Amino acid sequence: MEQARRYLFVGLKGLVIAALLVWSLTPIFWNILTSFKVPGQIFDYPPVFFFMPNLDAYQQALGPGGIYPQLQNSLFVAIGTTVVSLACAVLAGYAFSRYEFPGRKPLMLGLVATRLLPPISAVVPLYLLASDLNLIDTRTILVVIYSALNIPFATWLLKSYVDAVPKELEESAFLEGCGSLRTIQKITMPLIAPGLVATGIFVFILAWNEFMFAYMFTAVNARTMPVVLAEARGGEQILWQVLTAQATILIVPAVIVGIFLQKYLVRGLTAGAVK
């Protein structure tokens, strides 16, 4: 009887996981499938699943006058945000983890609480500041804004990883003559590498997919891919084939990053689960 219940529980869990996978992956599959159809096949009923793939939308997207500039902007902004956020968050997380100073806990709570504020509430003052500094329609302003939004989140994550590193290892490095920065570089960062990768992936994806600030702070030169997708909707019609092809291209970098860094991501997410 107990074994039958166990099998029933495993079977139900498998069905729930399968249902969640279908719910999550079906829109992505349908998007990719639509990008290879000709316009006349997109609205066929019943839907067409087997057809000769058409690459016109990809040739239009990746050809002359396509989305290469916007794709480069997105890569630059996402990578720049990840580097800046991790560089600041490592130092901040280490300081919160290792040093005792007045107001440490309230400051940490205040840092995390900034994520509770709706980002749109900061649009007007940020726009005025960026305009005064001549940073409107530049990739720099997006890196600065995205980093400011993600550093609190990254600091909170990395502090938990630094907490798990034994202090004795760092004390040994101090006895050997290493300073604080060298100890962080040679001892702490290699030990929290899975956490750095997991945090970096989250920051990269958040910056890669961000739309609101990219839409409001850019016009032509610094347009990113999420804004391009929104602009694929015309005034009188929606170019579904072009829209789905661009959306598929937008998915690819995040998928590649996740696949190549998957083992580090899993280790980073599970670090600390077992003492």
- Least confident span in 144-158, 162-176, 184-198, 208-222: 162-176
pLDDT digits (tens, 9 = 90+) for 29-58: 888 888 888 877 777 777 777 778 888 888
Domain boundaries, the chain: 66-240+249-270
pLDDT digits (tens, 9 = 90+) for 98-115: 888 787 788 888 887 877
Select from 199, 124, 189 the least CA-distant residue to 154. 199
Angle at CA of residue 26, ends 25 and 32, nearest 5°: 90
Pick the CATH number of 66-240+249-270 from 3.30.70.920, 1.10.3720.10, 3.30.360.10, 3.40.50.150: 1.10.3720.10
What's the pTM value of the predicted model, to 2 decimals?
0.81
Select from 165, 145, 144 the least CA-distant residue to 93. 165
Give residue 83's pLDDT.
Answer: 94
Q: What is the share, in percent, of the chain residues with pLDDT greater than 70?
A: 92
